[in-house]
Amino acid sequence: MPLHAMHTMKDLLVTQLNELHAAEKHCSTLLTSLADHASDRALAELLRSHGSETQEHVARLDSVFRELGLKPHAARAETACMKGLARDCLELAKAPRTEPHVRDAAIIAGVQHIEHDEIAGYGCARTWAQLLGFQGAAGKLQLTLDEERRADVDLSRIAQQVNRKAMSAATAV
């Protein structure tokens, strides 16, 4: 969040929406890149699917901004926690000489960090929109929140199998 003064809850909501918008735009390409590095077919498919879904999240956020009579503004890079998480996740995915199942486990962990940050952000934004009387916006934010939670559950499901494979590969060395 930026360091400038926020005088109202609407200011806080708009700041959060801008952070989410910047994060979603960044994650759209990140997820496709991570899918290219994943060796597990189900993981790669989930990452590509969620990457497409992320583009829908950006469009939905644009709609929320229109409802508020505003346009999204780029969040400052140094305040966008998501960009740091994304960079770390991609570095793990590209690490040389990493066993493929261990790489997949690292990708899942990194993406889940990002998902959890988005879940927190959307949960706060949805609540603030409700309190401010922006019911349409709150409904759209809830829809995205549900999709982010579903992606997290799907990642956890895939992680169970991937982590077992990674452990087996480690004991085989």
- CATH number (domain holding residue 158): 1.20.1260.10
Residue 110, CA distances (Å) to 27, 31, 69, 91 in order: 12, 11, 35, 10
Number of structural domains found in the chain: 1
Work out the angle at residue 129's Cα, subtended by the Cα atoms of residues 13 and 4, and round it to the nearest 5 degrees: 10
67 falls within a domain: yes
Query: Per-residue pLDDT for 3 more than 60?
Result: no
Tokens of 117: 């940050």
The conformational region for residue 80 under phi > 0 = left, psi -120 to 50 = alpha, else beta, is beta
Q: How far apart are CA 120 and CA 98, in angstroms?
A: 31
pLDDT in tens, 41-99: 999 999 999 999 999 999 999 999 999 999 998 765 444 566 777 788 788 888 888 89
pTM of the model: 0.89
Q: Ranked by mean pLDDT, which of 67-76, 135-144, 164-173 comes out on top?
A: 135-144
135 falls within a domain: yes
121 falls within a domain: yes
Better pLDDT: 2 or 16: 16
